[in-house]
Amino acid sequence: MKIGALSRETGVSPRLLRYYEEQGLLTSYRADGGHRRYAEDAPVVVRRIRTLLAAGLPTRVIRDVLPCAAGSGEVLDPCVLGHLRGRLTGLDEQLAELQATRQTLAAILAATERSGELVGAA
């Protein structure tokens, strides 16, 4: 499969497909004339990559877990469960920090608005 056909089938630009290759996520070989060719399962691999990227995994992690992917990439072998749980815990911690930051900012905003109302009433 040529890069253009893979791009059309997956909706991923040729530039991004080349990036996936540079990151070790996707492999190709050179046909006569030097054109990139991909295996027939390349669309499945690209969909798995996109699913794992959508889950917030960086390409360096995807490179490690991609061999454990099955189907569309939403199911992985149990060997990566610890890593995925760690990533999820990290996201939960970031969310908690953001919520605390938001609450602090909202309190400052509310206090400032109340202070402005008092000055305007005087």
Per-residue pLDDT 10s for the chain (122 aa) are: 999 999 999 999 999 999 999 999 999 998 888 888 999 999 999 999 998 999 888 999 899 888 888 766 667 788 888 888 988 999 999 999 999 999 999 999 999 998 877 766 65
Question: In this predicted structure, what is the pLDDT of residue 101?
Answer: 98
Question: In this predicted structure, what is the pLDDT of residue 122?
Answer: 55
Nearest CA to 26 out of 3, 4, 56, 9 is that of 3
Q: Give the fold, CATH level 3, of 1-76.
A: Multidrug-efflux Transporter Regulator; Chain: A; Domain 2 (1.10.1660)
The ranges assigned to domains in the chain are: 1-76, 78-122
Structure tokens at 115: 């202070």
- Asked if 90 contacts 55 with a C-beta cutoff of 8 angstroms, the reply is no
pTM given for the model = 0.73
List the helix and strand counts (H, then E) for the chain.
Answer: 5, 4
